[in-house]
Amino acid sequence: MFFKSLELRGFKSFVDLTKIEFEAGVTAIVGPNGCGKSNIADGMRWVLGEQSAKTMRGTKMEDFIFNGSANRKPTGFAEVTMTISNENGAVSTAPYSEYPEISVTRKYFRNGDSEYMINKVPCRLKDIVDVFLDTGVSIKTLSIIEQGQVTRLVNAKPEDRRVFIDEAAGIMKYKMRRNAARNKLELSQQNLLRIQDIIGELDRQRASLNRQAKKAERYKAYKAEIRDTAQVHYAGEYQRLALEMGSLQNQLESQKERETAASAQLASARNKLETLKAKILKQEREISTVREEKGALDSSLEKNNHHRRFLGAQVEELIEKRGLAQQEIGQVERNVSEGELAVSERKQEKERAETHLTEQAALAATLSQEVSKAQAALAALEAKLSEGLSASMKI
């Protein structure tokens, strides 16, 4: 595999876009300590998917973003792009095997977001790892050899050396695929065991659910039967209450008519009573007048008796006059007797009128009580009807 170029921007000390072309042969980067030579190797390791900040001499990924200097502001992201040649068909992963060159880009933002791209198309880190498995390039192998890497290889354990040998032989890709397949198989077996457990549990629950379903069906049937029966019952009850309410309303109207008639009779009786009172008052005034006239006649008679010894000469005339006077007195007494008889009759009529008025008042009170009872019965029936309708609607 041949590296064609490496572009760095905002990565560690490379604040501006820096592109390094790798020509045929040996490419060497020479410079004093601290000039950034190791940052180029770190950039290559980073774009290949390195996730350990300590491996690239950092503590966290934000350390790889240019943090500013006295003359430059910090950048918001770090970006590294590596371009490799595929003219020899080193990459066999479709669809990248058809491209003559492949560019891999990794971009990291200061807020923690990451982007991976292959040929400027967004992808996953796993896609980048799969592309480089065919080439023998990996962050875990000897593709990038640092200081002390040879010593670690010489002193490595046999199983660690085997990893490097497999990588150099080009079979690491198949081993990783085999391990991935094994992991998927183990995961599938575990999932199968869990599914079998779930199926067993579902089988146990199915019998219970079947019983519950049958109970629910019976409950629905009973509920429908109860609802139908209740509807028939409440329909009949509604009709009965409607008829009863109609009858009570007719009774109420009849009682109202009777109350109106009784009120009219009571008003008529009161008018008659007032008329009789006026007549009695008139008769009493007439009796008072007659009594006054009688008193005047009695006074005149007394005077005549006192003057009788003085009127001896006029005895004959006075006798005649007295006869006339006695006749007048008899007539007056008869008039008084007739007046007293009329007063007595008026008093009797007054008593009869008062008795009739009392009876009419009692009748009106009785009718009012009957109306109140009818209204109370009607309200009770309406409440009962409302309760029946509410219960029917709930069912």
Q: Which structure tokens are listed for 227?
A: 């609802």
What pLDDT score was predicted for residue 173? 65
Q: What's the pLDDT tens digit per position in 211-265?
A: 888 888 888 888 888 888 888 888 888 888 888 888 888 888 888 888 888 888 8
Residue 216 to residue 299: CA distance in whole angstroms: 116
CB atoms inside a 10 Å sphere around CB 339 = 18
pTM: 0.43
- Write b or e for each residue in 112-133: b if 16 or more Cβ atoms lie within 10 A of its Cβ, otherwise e: eeeebbbeeeebeeebbebbbb
Judged against a pLDDT cut of 70, whether residue 195 lies above it is answered with: yes
Greatest Cα pair distance, the chain, in angstroms, is: 200
Distance CA 263, CA 268 (A): 9
The confidence band for 71, taking pLDDT boundaries of 50, 70 and 90, is confident
Q: Are 118 and 103 in contact (CB under 8 A)?
A: yes
Cα of first residue to Cα of last residue in the chain, in angstroms, is: 82
Beta-carbon neighbour count of residue 2 at 10 Å?
A: 14
Residue range 124-173, pLDDT digits in tens? 988 888 777 766 565 555 456 666 666 766 777 877 777 666 666 666 66
Per-residue pLDDT tens digits for 94-134:
777 788 888 999 999 999 899 999 999 999 988 888 777 76
The reported pLDDT for the residue numbered 142 is 46
Q: Is 51 in contact with 140 (CB distance < 8 Å)?
A: no
Neighbours of 170 (CB within 10 A): 13
CA atoms within 13 A on the CB side of 63: 13
Strands 2-9 and 114-118, how do they pair? unpaired
121-123 sheet: strands from edge to edge: 18-21, 2-9, 77-85, 101-109, 114-118, 121-123
> Comparing 37 with 75, which gets the higher pLDDT?
75
